[in-house]
Structure 1
């Protein structure tokens, strides 16, 4: 009942405060995470950046999941965790960027039109285990210990 790692990513324009975005990603992903910033051009030619925070450590990935807080974790379970898991055993979460840079955690939903931060947790599950059950048990353990 664990995670292999976590990746958080955000798309930004040249007008965004890159240091603030990187600090926010560092906070949610863990201080030991690796931050990468890549520069590219959008379809229309303007500069854009992709900022990625990543850790492949189980403990740090679990700490990142814990940082989402009881309310968000409870909402994820209530909404049905299966729809957030892909065929590669990744749990996908989107957070509102404006809240994250203010030090708050808020799930983005389908109606969210503002910028988001995308999180991808790699679930540690093996043949015979359902990824949804593994991650649900981990979240329930986190909630029970808080």
Structure 2
């Protein structure tokens, strides 16, 4: 800019730190008249909490997914064992009694098996996206600047 700046005004959603002369001040809005040199900044937000929340969310989801998969595998194995016992031919009456007992026991386990609810993938993705967005939003200055500039007497 070739002409002298008469006034600089700024508004921000978060705290801005600025200098008036050699004094550092802070605020969400400021107005400085006839600034010789204007320096202002927005302190970087400490993202460690958000990053930790994101890591925990991912770990919790993976753990829930593993637990669910383990339960599904357990039920599948019980069904396979039952199928094998049902199709097995008994050699003796004693063997037939053991087979029938195993079939009844496996049938009861399968009947009483409580199928877990799978982890909510949509909720996980939404929470993950929100945390990642919070991390992205902290990386830029969010301010509106209005600069008043003096006009030449000739123009």
| TM-score of the aligned structures, taking structure 1 as reference length | 0.29
Question: In terms of Rg, which structure is larger?
Answer: 2
Structure number with higher strand proportion: 1
Higher RCO structure, 1 or 2 (CA under 8 Å, sep 6+): 2
| TM-score of the aligned structures, taking structure 2 as reference length | 0.27
